[in-house]
Structure 1
Amino acid sequence: MVKTKDGGVAAFWDNTDVLNFCDICIKEIELGNRPTTHFNKEGWRNVMIKFEEMTGKKYDKVQLKNKWDHLKKEWKLWTDLKRGETGLGWNASRKTIDASDEWWDERLKVLFHLCLLTCFL
């Protein structure tokens, strides 16, 4: 068990937890509990309750929101990577983006330059 700075228990997410969390969030959005860009109080309460029922893990709103924010960043990266691109796919067995070596070389150059820029700002 890993403790957080405030003495709480750190959240541990396996693939099943992530899928369950996403399913719960989608249902709450469909129910109208995310009227803008964030869940309302009822939405977060429902997410916490349903997540505990499905997984047996009692995570608080902060832990769940941290996961939401992390997944959102990953989704944005994915959409940026494939923006305007054709011929990309998903390799289910390797769980990776399926693209040519040339495509990856170009994207890695861009990411390298972005990392260099942010290091010196």
Structure 2
Amino acid sequence: MSTSTVEVGGEKVKAMLDKRLIEIFCDICIKKILKGNRLDTHFTKDGWLKIMTNFEKETGKGFSQRQLKNRWDALKKEWKAWKKLKGEDTSLGWNPIKRTVYASDDWWESRLQVVPEA
């Protein structure tokens, strides 16, 4: 489970997103990028509005732009750590049942020493 926090009326409110919701969120964001709703590195205001609307329509869960942007930023940080961890290595496999990367314990041990944030 993944969370994003936003302050509402002086209270911090967490948006809880499980794997399924994160996948839906990412799919919606990718579609908006392909439709040109992202300028350079940031979504347009219209892009965020469409993301929020589509996310609520597909999941029945409404989150603020700030909550979804926090989630986007956190996912981007995780992706950058993964990219740095993976490096140029092409010998990794994929476990479709667990939906995880397959690599030897030695690979993980050596790479996590280089990229501890991963």
TM range (shorter): 0.7 to 0.9
* 2:91 alignment counterpart: 87
Cα distance in 1 for residues equivalent to 2:101 and 2:93: 6
The structure with more strand, counted as a fraction of residues: 2
TM-score, scaled to structure 2? 0.83
For 1:68-108, what per-residue CA distance to the aligned partner results, in whole angstroms no more than 9, with x for missing partners?
01110111111111111121122232333211122112113
Q: Which has the higher contact order (CA 8 A, sep 6+)?
A: 2
* 1:78 alignment counterpart: 82
How many residue pairs end up in the alignment?
111
TM-score, scaled to structure 1? 0.81
Q: CA RMSD in A?
A: 2.0
Q: Larger Cα Rg: Structure 1 or Structure 2?
A: 1
The structure with more helix, counted as a fraction of residues: 1
For structure 2, which runs of at least 5 residues remain unmatched after alignment? none
Instruction: Tell me, yes or no, if structure 1 residue 54 matches structure 2 residue 55.
Output: no
Letter in 2 for 1:43: G
For structure 1, which runs of at least 5 residues remain unmatched after alignment? 115-121
* 1:117 alignment counterpart: none
Identity %: 50
Instruction: Tell me, yes or no, if structure 1 residue 17 matches structure 2 residue 21.
Output: yes
